[in-house]
Structure 1
Amino acid sequence: MSNSICFVNDLFLKDKNVVTTGPMVQMYLIGKELANRGWQVSHIVHSRNNKDGMIEEHEGMYVYYLPYHRYGELMGIRLILKKLNDINADIYYQRGRSPMTGMTAYFTNKNSKKFVWSSAGEGGMARGKYIKEQLKKKSPLRKIVLFPYFWLQDRVYEYGIKNADIVFAQTEYQLNELKKEFNRDGIIFRSGHPIPDISVLKKPNPPVVLWVGAIKKSKQPELFLELAKNLKSEKAEFYMIGNLSDEKYREPIIFQEMEQKNFHYAGEVPFKKMTEWFSKASLLINTTMKDYEGLPNVFIQSWLHGVPVVSLHSDPDDFIKKHEIGYQTGDFILLVERVKELIRNLDLRNEMGKRARDFAVNEFGIKKLVDQFVEICKEL
């Protein structure tokens, strides 16, 4: 069986000043577990901290830094292909749609290597990411100038999905979209995290209501601010955690923190310290736009820590509904009511939290996930 793997990613989780993303977290955790099992693990990433050309070791994994290109990975295609060749791994793994998807597929096909690609969100199997999703954000003049380049980026990543040896989907929905868009089959491969001690089920009083994510339009953080404002008289503490990706939210957050004693903005918290927050949280709130999330890391981390999730839209594969480990409301007013209900009902919170913990331990432990990965790799 192959026992060397290279993860191809935009940035590395342990670097300073990087905004944590789901793919970044999962490639780090899977790589770390494989390294613990004796695999030779490498990461190719871009540097935003003047580490161009450097090699670092992190927990048994080797991280190779390439120059960051403001206008996208295609600008560094020669250097990326050279580094893929220098590392000479048996398996290359990449997550999420980007030009690096196509570059990695091209390299592995040409050099008799194996390529595993994984979707990173519910829309992760769709064609035309750059034209349909990115170009519309540009000014009219920039749309004209950038159209050919964005068109090329779409064709490159689509080539990668079509030519990967294995495609992973996080949910049944993504699996169906893969078949519809690319007429190929995939494998359900969830996300995984270390399993915390059972003591995380003991929660502080008053309950902590948590919101975690990049503070940007797609996550709709303004709805959490509104939720906290609606429930300011409840005996609970509301905490918002995340990188301020969109500056327009800074003033409303600061103002609400000044005006509301039980609302707090904790800023961006390093990944390794998030377990402390999930350990003391009683509820996680998700306000992300419809059809955006895949299988969020924060859902899994919450459930493993015995924290029910109250979600406006996202409920991957109906886990919340089927296992009764929170609520998916579809409506903001109902979201407020469900959160109020759980704040006031300790027994219900504890019951949901215990079910969430049991479900997540069985489904999302990183060791079980990597067991599945190793078995799949045996067939490559």
Structure 2
Amino acid sequence: MVIADKRLTFLLEHYWGQCQGGAELQTHYLEHEAIHKGLDAHYCFFSNGNDIDRINGTMICPIAKRKIWSKLNVQYPYAFDIFQALKKMKPDVIYQRCASSLTGIASCYAQKNNCQLTFHVASDKDVSPISTPWKRPWLIPEYKLMQYGIRTADTIIAQTQLQAEQLKINYGRQAIVIPNGHPVPADCVKADNQITVLWIANWKSVKQPELFIRLVEEIGRDENVHFVMLGRTDRYSGLVKLAKSHNIEVMGEVSNDRVNDYLAQGHILVNTSRQEGFSNTFIQAWMRRVPVVSYRVDPDHILQNEQIGYCSSGNFRELVQNTGVLIRDSKLRNTMGARARKYAIKHHSLENIDEILKTIMQ
């Protein structure tokens, strides 16, 4: 049961206002629900500045980043700064999402200060086995703290049943499974005179944007098919030029509202990631009658079992074939889209955010 006036601190690497990733979006929804329920909410994260401010009722508490630690991709050197910030906030509950040394730092503080820690799995990678990085020894404390935090957190929430199973196997911990939640949008009508195929992610190696470009090359140019890529393209200028040469519209980073606008008008979402947690864009697409064609990722086999898209099991030829089928077959595409919207509304509404908050504050 949620009790008003309790103090809740969100501890993540990024804040929604600076980095609009999936974990930040879900935490953003949770933050709003906490304020609505009367909780005293604080948000601690890394930033280029250190100005404390209150935004939409939440006290924002940035910790100034240092270039050397960002370059080495470690967070444990900030342990003292985080402890000092938490001592000032005096949280009753800490919510930490995305496994890192922050998980262990939060757990150390919680155990010493009569505080509860909830760790929320953000990716399948969070609960996968980890080998000690002997060739990069500066990462060893990072991984050890992360593992300590997962093993000692008071409560763990997973997005999927598969994550919960992996957590049990690799850490001996039980998780409460609560899927991601999203606002339910108004229904949309798709115009079929031109088919829009979307790819939505920040460009990085795990997302494999090059596979989408290969896909478009294989399908070939068609004046009735429009290919669009959304997401931050840092350090990928060469690949951006290649995409544009194949008549792909590269929009770069856009707001979450604009992503939803594209999905409302789009017809197919292609995902080429090697690994995800539970992709928010899947849910946003399903809510807007857009079936998903995935290269490898199928959380809890939902695409297959619910028949709301295709998983190509890491087979590029299947990815091309499955995308082509949905481009050509409007009846199948519309049937899958209707089924996807019904599924998403039933299983991924903002009621899940309320359930997460109740679990955190119990």
Q: Equivalent pairs: percent with the same residue? A: 27
User: What is the TM-score normalised by the length of structure 2?
Assistant: 0.92
Instruction: Return 5+ residue gaps in structure 2 as ranges.
Output: none
- Which of 219, 233, 243 is 1:256 aligned to? 243
- Equivalent position of 1:138 in the other structure: none
CA distance in 2, matches of 1:202, 1:34: 36
Q: How big is the shift at 1:378?
A: 5.3
1:133-282 mapped onto 2 (5 Å cutoff):
143=135, 146-147=136-137, 149-198=138-187, 200-203=188-191, 205-234=193-222, 235-245=224-234, 247=235, 249-257=236-244, 259-261=245-247, 263-282=248-267
- Which of 329, 337, 362 in structure 1 is aligned with 2:321? 337
RMSD: 1.8
Following superposition of structure 1 onto structure 2, how do residues 6-155 of structure 1 map, counting pairs within 5 Å? 6-15=9-18, 18=19, 20-48=20-48, 51-52=49-50, 54-70=51-67, 71=69, 72-128=74-130, 131-132=132-133, 143=135, 146-147=136-137, 149-155=138-144
TM-score by length of 1: 0.88
- Aligned mates of 1:177, 1:118 — CA distance in 2: 14
Q: 55-64 or 99-108, which moves further after superposition?
A: 55-64
1:299 aligned onto 2:282: yes
Letter in 2 for 1:210: L
Separation in 2, partners of 1:253, 1:55: 37
Q: What is the aligned partner in structure 2 of residue 312 from structure 1? A: 295
Distance 2:58 2:94 in 1: 14
Work out the CA distance in 2 between the residues paired with 1:4 and 1:197.
34
- Residues 294 and 319 of structure 2 are in contact (CA less than 8 Å); yes or no, is this contact kept in structure 1? yes
CA contact (8 A) 1:69 1:75 kept: no
| Cα distance change, pair 250–34 in 1 and its aligned pair in 2 (3 A) | same
Aligned match of 1:285 = 270
Alpha-carbon deviations, 1:305-338, whole Å to 9, x = none?
1110000110000110111101111211121111
Contact conserved, 1:36 with 1:60, CA < 8 A, in 2?
no
Greater mean alpha carbon deviation, residues 313-322 or residues 179-188:
179-188
**Partner SS, residue 53 of structure 2:** strand
What residue ranges of structure 1 are gaps of 5+ in the alignment?
A: 136-142
Other-structure match for 1:376: 359
- Asked if 1 retains the 8 angstrom alpha-carbon contact of 2:76 and 2:141, the reply is no
- Aligned residues of 2:155 and 2:360 also touching (Cα < 8 A): no
Residue 304 of structure 2 corresponds to 321
- The residue matched to 1:124 in structure 2 has which SS? helix
1:272 Cα offset (Å): 3.5
